[in-house]
Amino acid sequence: MENVIQVVNGSYKQNTFIYICNAPHCIVIDPGLDYDPIRKILEDNNLQPEAIFCTHGHFDHIGSVSKIKQQYNSVVYLHSKDLKICNSSNFLLKVLKTGLTIETPIPDVLISSDAVYQIRGVDVHVICTPGHTPGSCTIRIGGLLFTGDTFLKTENLKNQLPGYNEAELQNSFIKIFTTYPGNFMIYPGHGKPEKLEVIKAEYLIAAEGKGKVN
């Protein structure tokens, strides 16, 4: 998609997405731990981040929020149920022995339910999709779904970080699959973009293997 720029961050290979509303205005989704490549893309394209949407509060998805906010005066959106996870980022980084620290961001807008925000003439739909964390959200812009770690394929990472709830995650899968058509594009927190119909087919195969589908 020509108005979406993907930046892959460091060892966690976390995706930051930059959605260009109408140049130079843009939205940054999940600015990760590597600020410099994100900043370079913004500067090289003369972009001005109007808003930062965090799909959830894990450190690899919020690592550069504060730096972007300070440089561009961007408005930060995060679900209220992930504020605790966000604020514990440096503790978790220490526990994981990463040797990293971040400046913990302070959200300007605390999301509490499904909502629509208008950013420079673009409707940004925030859909609550808990499971990976209590406050996980999917960001919809037109036919694009920025899903954070809702569709995280690496099984051993799914339940190693705070906030994981399998039952809620299954309900979030169903919510997305039954609400949006298969030709919608999924932009995940890790890995490559795929059509929703591809993600759904993979989910059904995995669920059948676990005995969750009759």
Question: What is the residue-wise DSSP string for 29-68?
Answer: E---S-HHHHHHHHHHTT-EEEEEE-SS--HHHHTTHHHH
- Structural domains in the chain (count): 1
**Cβ atoms within 10 Å, residue 198:** 12
pLDDT tens profile 138-191 = 999 999 999 999 998 765 555 567 789 999 999 999 999 999 999 999 999 999
Q: How many CA atoms lie within 13 A of 102 on its CB side?
A: 29
**Cβ atoms within 10 Å, residue 115:** 14
Say if 214 falls within a structural domain.
Answer: no
Q: How far apart are CA 110 and CA 79, in angstroms?
A: 5
Could you tell me the residue range of the domain that residue 115 belongs to?
4-209
**Three-class SS of residue 27?**
strand
**Model pLDDT, residue 65:** 98
**Model pLDDT, residue 151:** 93
User: What are the residue ranges in the chain where pLDDT is below 50?
Assistant: 214
**Model pLDDT, residue 97:** 93
Instruction: Kindly provide the b/e burial profile for residues 96-111, where b requires at least 16 CB atoms within 10 angstroms of the residue's own CB.
Output: eebebebebbebebeb
Torsion angle in degrees (nearest 10) through CA of 86, 91, 93, 97:
-170
The residue type found at 61 is H
**CATH of residue 46:** 3.60.15.10
**Model pLDDT, residue 10:** 86
**Model pLDDT, residue 119:** 96
**Model pLDDT, residue 214:** 45
